[in-house]
Structure 1
């Protein structure tokens, strides 16, 4: 996940992008665990996953009404469509994000062994 600033988050809202922003504090053990889960989930979805240290942006934390960390906010068209505070499991996180973010396309690799050119 790419680290972003308060200004980056404001730009995200202004340009109407779809993205997930993971809010955390560096010394939070639960945030570290949730970050690993979010990092895995990031590979499933075709959307930007960003992270922001709320210690560096108290104004944004207040504006976004972040009650505790870890917190994952999903933005779509500049608006928050989901806020997640509980990071129970990867399947639970996937279920809560499904339908909000586009999935990454799985490309099948072509098997060259069966082609006519092989001898």
Structure 2
């Protein structure tokens, strides 16, 4: 498991779908942001997602649904933004639609010790 020092302070862009499981397993709590560049609500949420990465012990992984369609389908992403919280490598929470920074922080806090 990771320590807070090893958690990235900014969102990490998923480049290879094969790295998804490894990233989720490497960190105690991971917020996964399924988004698309053309999605207005996704763009509006970007500052909140960046703040969560900077201000919490959760790692943040951004997954472009246009690039990683199979991964989005695997996790049942039908609308974006969809944000998943993984704790201990397991899916722990799901929020769909634009969320405030506080809502994201609360979702993460529910799964951190």
User: TM-score, normalization: structure 2?
Assistant: 0.77
Gaps of 5+ in 2: 1-10
Gaps of 5+ in 1: 103-119
Q: Across the two proteins, how many residue pairs are aligned to each other?
A: 101
Residue of structure 2 equivalent to 1:38: 49
Residue of structure 1 equivalent to 2:100: 89
1:2 matched to 2:40: no
SS class of match (1:67): coil
Contact 1:45/1:101, CA 8 A, preserved across alignment: no
User: TM-score, normalization: structure 1?
Assistant: 0.73
Misfit runs of 4+, over 3 Å: none
In 2 relative to 1, CA 26–9 (structure 1 residues): closer, same or farther, beyond 3 Å?
same
1:62-118, CA deviations, whole angstroms, 9 ceiling, x for partnerless residues?
Answer: 11111211111111222110111133422222222223246xxxxxxxxxxxxxxxx
Residue of structure 2 equivalent to 1:62: 73
Contact 1:16/1:79, CA 8 A, preserved across alignment: no
SS class of match (2:79): coil
SS class of match (1:56): coil
